[in-house]
Amino acid sequence: NFSSQSHEIMKARKYVVVNHFVNEAKPTDLKLVEEELPPLQDGEYLAEAEYFSVDPYMRPYVRRYPLGITMLGTQIAKIVESKNPAFPVNKRIVGNMGWRTHTIVNPKFKDLVFQEHPYLLPDIGDLPSSLCLGILGMPGNTAYFGLLELCKPKSGETIVVSGAAGAIGSHVGQIAKNLGLNVIGICGSDEKCNWLIEEMGFDFAINYKTMPVASNLRKAAPQGVDCYFDNVGGDISSAVMYQMKPFGRVAVCGSISSYDADSSSLPKCTILQPILSKHELRVEGFLVTRWMNRWNEGIMQNLQWLREGKLRYRETETKGFENMFEAFIGMLRGENIGKAIVQA
């Protein structure tokens, strides 16, 4: 128990990036190492990881940083020792400290990805703290702001969501359903399609691995599509955009279908300009950090919807820090339903 034995030498385990990912990430691109942590200085606190998030952005972002960094990633951690009254022992934080079991956080710490200091877990009562990596965290805010601010959905309209059975997609579809839209999801298995319809309230689901997207979409939305929340890019997205109504709105959240490609191997995709001008579509990309000044609003709204039974969630949980890579690659390959997390 470190909190009562702070004089003991503390060891942290962490994954260091030793090769930038090329095509599909390999376990040997990361190295698990042990590090001795020094005693705390004034203002510092020691955080022990409880849950880790594995997210798609980790795949393309890593190459922006030099080799030798700790693998990027957000975690929920419990403060086990503190010399900072604003971050007392036993409180939990959400922060992008990376794939490491223990972290000494000093007051000036800002993470590499978001350039933010960790924040204290919001008061979510007896809900699991891991939700702050998903529906009550960054992915939840991505769904909330991306959908409402960019798609501007209206009751009676039709929305298509790609990556529909993942953390963000399943959340977007539920908000849209609550607003009275006709919701069509695109995802990669029959199990996911069934889950979207039976549990998440989607109206129609297309398994892009076994069903042609264009003809099935025409069946599901014969009048055309008003909004598209795009998590995947590539040909799936081209097929959707060609079926959009005049003045349709597209929120480009991510393009996971291209994350394993480098610039020389990017897949060719259908030219989009004709439909953009013909139907006067509005296509806008975004980063959720655009709404950093409204972060708490998103979390509190999603929390309220969760408590009212208007939002449901699912987590695909992997156990054990030693299984981080398997969880990461599994998520990229589509093995997750809902949010992919790792319990430390």
Instruction: Give the range of 11-19, 100-108, 158-166, 317-325 binding ligand NDP by CB under 6 A.
Output: 158-166
Of 26-65, which residues contact ligand NDP (CB under 6 A)? 55-57
Nearer to ligand NDP, 74 or 182 (CB): 74
By CB under 6 A, residue 217 contacts ligand NDP = no
**Is residue 205 a contact residue for ligand NDP (CB under 6 A)?**
no
**Angle, alpha carbons 171-260-207 (nearest 5°):** 45
| Helix/strand/coil for 61 | helix
Closest CB to ligand NDP: residue number: 166
Q: What is the 3-state secondary structure (H, E, C) of 268-327?
A: CCCCCHHHHHHCCCEEEECCHHHHHHHHHHHHHHHHHHHHCCCCCCCEEEEECHHHHHHH
Q: Which is nearer to ligand NDP, 46 or 233 (CB)?
A: 233
Question: CB-hemisphere CA count at 13 Å for 204?
Answer: 18
Q: Least distance in Å: CB of 229 to ligand NDP?
A: 9
Q: Are 252 and 285 in contact (CB under 8 A)?
A: yes
The gap from C-alpha 125 to its chain's centroid, in whole angstroms, comes to 23
Nearest distance in Å: CB 115, ligand NDP = 14
Give me the least distance between CB of 341 and ligand NDP, in Å please: 10
Residue with tokens 């998103």: 298
Out of 73, 118, 254, 298, the only residue in the binding site for ligand NDP (CB under 6 A) is 254
Q: Which member of 95, 98, 137, 139 binds ligand NDP (CB under 6 A)?
A: 139
Window 163 to 192, contacts with ligand NDP (CB under 6 A): 163, 165-169, 187-189, 192
Element (H, E) at 164: none
Backbone angles phi, psi at 279, to 5 degrees: -105, 10
Q: Which is nearer to ligand NDP, 82 or 231 (CB)?
A: 231
- Residue nearer to ligand NDP on the CB measure, 168 or 324: 168
Separation CA 156–CA 222 (nearest Å): 14
3-state helix, strand, coil in the chain (%, to 5): 30, 25, 40
Tell the smallest beta-carbon distance from residue 198 to ligand NDP (Å). 17
Task: State both tokens at 18.
Answer: 């030793």
298 binds ligand NDP (CB under 6 A): no
Q: Interface with ligand NDP by CB under 6 A: which residues?
A: 55-57, 139, 142, 163, 165-169, 187-189, 192, 231-232, 253-254, 256-257, 286-288, 331-332, 334, 336, 340
